[in-house]
Chain A
Amino acid sequence: MIPIEQKPLLEIRNLTAGVESKPILRGLNLTIYAGETHVVMGQNGSGKSTLSYVLAGKPDYVVMEGEIWFKGKNLLEMSPEARAGEGLFLAFQYPIEIPGLSMGTFLKTAVNEVRAYRGLPSLDARTFLALQREKLAELGLSSDIMGRSVNEGFSGGEKKKNEILQMAMLDPDLAILDETDSGLDLDAIKQVTAGILKMKNSQRAFLIITHYPQIVEYLQPDKVHIMINGRIEYSGGIELAALLEKEGYEYFKLQSYQN
Chain B
Amino acid sequence: MSSIQISSPSVKESYKYTSISRLWPGLGGQNGTAHHSESPIALSLTHLARAVSEILKHLSDPLLQFSLLPHNISKIQSIGGLDAFQNFPEHLSLEGPQQIYHYQLLSTQSHSNFFNLLVRSTLSQPAIVNLYAVIDPGKNVEIQLDCVSQQAFPLTVNVVFVVLEGGHLHVNQVLRGCGLMRCNIFVILHGEGSQSHFNGVVLSGQETHHDLALEVRHLARETRSLQKVRILGWDASVSAFGGKIFVAPQAPLSEAYLEARSLALSEESFIYGRPFLEIYTDNVRCSHGYTTGSLDENALHYLRCRAIPEQIARQLLIQAFVKDIFPSSAVNTYPQYLISILENHICNAVA
- A residues with a Cβ closer than 8 A to B are 56-60, 79-81, 83-85, 89-90, 92, 95-96, 98-101, 105-106, 109-110, 113-114, 117, 149, 166, 170
Contacts and interface: CB of A to CB of B under 8 A. Distances in A.
6 contacts: A84-B305, A92-B305, A100-B319, A114-B306, A149-B324, A170-B306
B85 interface: no
Main secondary structure of the interface of B (DSSP, over half): helix
Given A100-B321, A101-B320, A106 B305 contact: no
Contacts of B307: 81, 84-85, 110, 113-114, 117, 170
B301 interface: yes
B306 A99 contact: no
Contact of A81 (B299, B310, B323, B325): B310
Interface string B294-325: 00111101111111111011001101111111
A92 B304 CA distance: 13
A98 B299 CA distance: 7
Given A99-B324, A100-B323, A58 B301 contact: yes
Contacts of A92: 302, 305
Range of interface residues on chain B?
Answer: 20 to 34
A241 B319 CA distance: 46
Contacts of A96: 296, 298-299, 302
A153 to B, nearest CB: 12
Given A59-B297, A100-B319, A100-B320, A90 B305 contact: yes
A114 B325 CA distance: 30
B327 to A, nearest CB: 11
Contacts of A81: 304-305, 307-310, 313
Given A96-B298, A98-B299, A80 B305 contact: yes
Contacts of A101: 316-317, 319-320
B305 A109 contact: no
Nearest to B312: A109
B305 A100 contact: no
Nearest to A88: B305
A105 B325 CA distance: 17
Contact of A98 (B310, B312, B317, B322): B317
Contact of A56 (B296, B305, B316): B305
Interface in B315-348: 316-317, 319-325
A161 B209 CA distance: 45
Nearest to B298: A96
A44 B137 CA distance: 62
A23 to B, nearest CB: 21
Contacts of B312: 109, 113
Given A98-B320, A100-B324, A109-B316, A84 B304 contact: yes
Interface-centre pick from A56, A81, A89, A110 (highest chain B CB count, 10 A): A81
A259 to B, nearest CB: 36
A79 B306 CA distance: 11
Nearest to A101: B320
A84 B306 contact: yes
Contacts of A85: 307
Given A80-B304, A96-B298, A113 B316 contact: no
A96 B301 CA distance: 10
A106 B306 contact: yes
Contacts of A117: 307
Contacts of B323: 100
Contacts of B306: 84, 106, 110, 113-114, 166, 170
Nearest to B318: A100
Contacts of B310: 79, 81
Given A100-B325, A105-B316, 11 more contacts: A57-B305, A59-B301, A79-B304, A80-B304, A81-B305, A81-B310, A90-B305, A92-B305, A96-B298, A101-B317, A114-B306
